[in-house]
Structure 1
Amino acid sequence: MRATARLATGALIGGTVLMGGTAALAAGPPSDEAAAAKAAASPAALQRLGAFFVHLDQHRRGQLVDQAVPKAAAQAKAPRLEGSVQRVHSLNPAFVKGDGGAPVATFAYMAVGAVSASGQHATVWLTRTGAGWQVMNVISGSEEAVYPARAQGGTVFTEPQIHAWYRLKDGRVTALNGTAASSVGRSGVTVAAYRRLVRSRYADKLPGTAYQRSGKLGGYSPATGTGDPAPDRGPAPALLALGAGGAVTAAGVALVRRRRQGGC
């Protein structure tokens, strides 16, 4: 297992959006992908992407990344979108809770990859606002845009607490990255077995539990779902209380460290 640093800008959304809770967005018609792509390609969004790539350079040089980026510097990064818009699904707290008929995962946000003139990669996250879509976050790397494209007739979803990606198909949950393989094995598990697994991890951390109210947001391991706090994940533990409302707003650019096995 190796530590991978990722940068995020904008709002790091808490469990309600990422975990498909009561405030999660409902998936819309296919035209939503086109509308989200148009929003991601807007001049304002591309300017934000360019500034993000400048911040990436600054971070890698060990410089502060909370200062404003000159418009010319952002434009020099010549950011462009890469690939098609993907629907990102996330583990459903109602499934963990055991609500009858609850799907394993629910729609969380749209994502599309981006690349700079110097070869840096990022992913743009978009959420619906009224009748349209807007950029809610930009994060380094491409997994949110790459993994959902591997559905192959099933549904790809993430268990963000442990940064695992799975495919749900024909009644089985199978691993798409190394962290997920550590969780469900290389051959995967049945939906019923996966529910028992995530219930053992998160049943006492759902909305309204003493764990959530106490503000305890410790780390998880793929094997057990519990463990000591993981300081290398930075703000990521804000995702751990399934379905928890609210958002953690990043000032400028926040460093998010993720442990990850395997990869895109």
Structure 2
Amino acid sequence: MRHTEMFGKRAGSRFSRLSIVIALSASALLSVVGPAHAAPTKDPLPADIPDYQAALNAVKSTDVKNAVCRFLRTPVPTGGGGGPVQAIPETAEPCQGLPLFTIKDPLARNEITPGFVAGTAKPLPTEAIELTQLVSSLSTTVNGRNATVMLAPTQGGGWHLAAIRDGDSDATYAGKATLGTLVFTEPQIRGWYQLKLATVEPLNDEARQGLGGQASVSLSDYQKLVKARYADKLPGSQYDTNGYSSGYSSPPKTDSTSSSLLLAGGSSAALALAGGAAILRRRRRASTG
């Protein structure tokens, strides 16, 4: 799991909405028979995402769009995830000649917390799940390809481009969150789940396998499953110190976006800033370990 100083300081405000979401799942049922209310003319900024306007500014910026164009122009490397990481060359007009597209508004990408995995955190939504990144997909496919823009929190506030991943599955699953539910990922198996009150339901095949084929489990039982899978692989464990990171180590903190872009091969090809190359290496080891 990735952790930053900014999110540590704002844990209280960020997770306040998680409790509200649980309460809303019950009140939403009452609203069906209650009086109708006119919808607001403009959606407010998401209260659960800090500095959301900065995230909007980032995905709408020319620099991020140019990075996406450069990614889409670069052929995806073939072979397994252990292949070499290649640099993406600079291009004066990276979007020239490509079909027009826009980058959608970012969505929250939630993950299970290290404390939840270790069993030291209670099986409560406010302690089990945390916001780690924001993800945005493209408005349309470009030459048959789609991509996901991934934003990471910048130290001191705001958001910056962390990676661009081939495909749009992260944003697709993140968009399945509804009133009264939360969507989160177990990145080690690429599983996606939906949390309804204290019940965990799988959203993809990987998640179904992660639950042992069950249609749903309690959050408490899910904690037992992930603790058995990863508790001995947390930072400081022998598994971690030997270099087989499970994805819970803290990535380097960065304050600005670099123009040096790298592309890793494999079935989940991803472009990342040079400062985030270590994240790709950890993810590659996690997928093979």
TM-score (normalised: structure 2): 0.65
| Partner of residue 209 from structure 2, selected from 178, 182, 190 | 182
Aligned to 1:255: 265
1:172–1:189 CA contact under 8 A, matched in 2: yes
Q: CA deviation at 1:80?
A: 2.9
Distance in 2 between the 1:255 and 1:113 partners? 20
Structure 2 gaps, min length 5: 15-46, 79-84, 253-257, 269-289
Partner deviation per Cα, 1:228-260 (whole Å, 9 max, x = no partner): xxxxxxxxxx5x24x21335x9962111435xx
Partner deviation per Cα, 1:25-61 (whole Å, 9 max, x = no partner): 35475573332122111011111110000013x647x
| Partner of residue 66 from structure 1, selected from 83, 87, 91 | 87
1:148–1:156 CA contact under 8 A, matched in 2: yes
Distance in 1 between the 2:228 and 2:6 partners? 23
TM-score (normalised: structure 1): 0.71
CA separation of 1:126 and 1:94: change in aligned 2, threshold 3 A: same
| Partner of residue 88 from structure 1, selected from 109, 113, 121 | 109
Matched, 1:109 2:168: no
Aligned to 1:121: 146
Which SS does the other structure have where 1:158 is aligned?
strand
Letter in 2 for 1:127: A
Greater Rg by CA? 2
Aligned to 1:211: 239
Which SS does the other structure have where 2:148 is aligned?
strand
Kindly report which structure 2 residues correspond to 1:29-178, keeping only aligned pairs within 5 A, or say none.
29-30=48-49, 32-56=51-75, 59=77, 66-78=87-99, 80-101=101-122, 103-114=127-138, 115=140, 117-129=142-154, 130-152=156-178, 153-178=180-205
Worse overlay, 197-206 or 144-153: 144-153
| Partner of residue 246 from structure 1, selected from 251, 264, 285 | 251
Partner deviation per Cα, 1:78-98 (whole Å, 9 max, x = no partner): 563344310000111100112
Q: CA deviation at 1:139?
A: 0.6
Partner deviation per Cα, 1:116-143 (whole Å, 9 max, x = no partner): 5424210101122233221111111111
Matched, 1:198 2:208: no
Q: CA deviation at 1:149?
A: 1.3
CA separation of 1:68 and 1:99: change in aligned 2, threshold 3 A: same
Which SS does the other structure have where 2:102 is aligned?
strand
Structure number with higher strand proportion? 1
Partner deviation per Cα, 1:173-199 (whole Å, 9 max, x = no partner): 110011101111351111111111001
Which SS does the other structure have where 2:265 is aligned?
strand
Distance in 2 between the 1:257 and 1:37 partners? 29
Which SS does the other structure have where 1:81 is aligned?
coil
Name the % identity. 27
Aligned to 1:223: none
Letter in 2 for 1:140: D
CA separation of 1:80 and 1:24: change in aligned 2, threshold 3 A: farther
Letter in 2 for 1:246: P
Which SS does the other structure have where 2:107 is aligned?
strand
Worse overlay, 159-168 or 177-186: 177-186
CA separation of 1:193 and 1:31: change in aligned 2, threshold 3 A: closer
Which SS does the other structure have where 1:108 is aligned?
strand
1:159–1:165 CA contact under 8 A, matched in 2: yes
CA separation of 1:24 and 1:166: change in aligned 2, threshold 3 A: farther
Structure 1 gaps, min length 5: 1-14, 218-237, 259-264
1:77–1:116 CA contact under 8 A, matched in 2: no
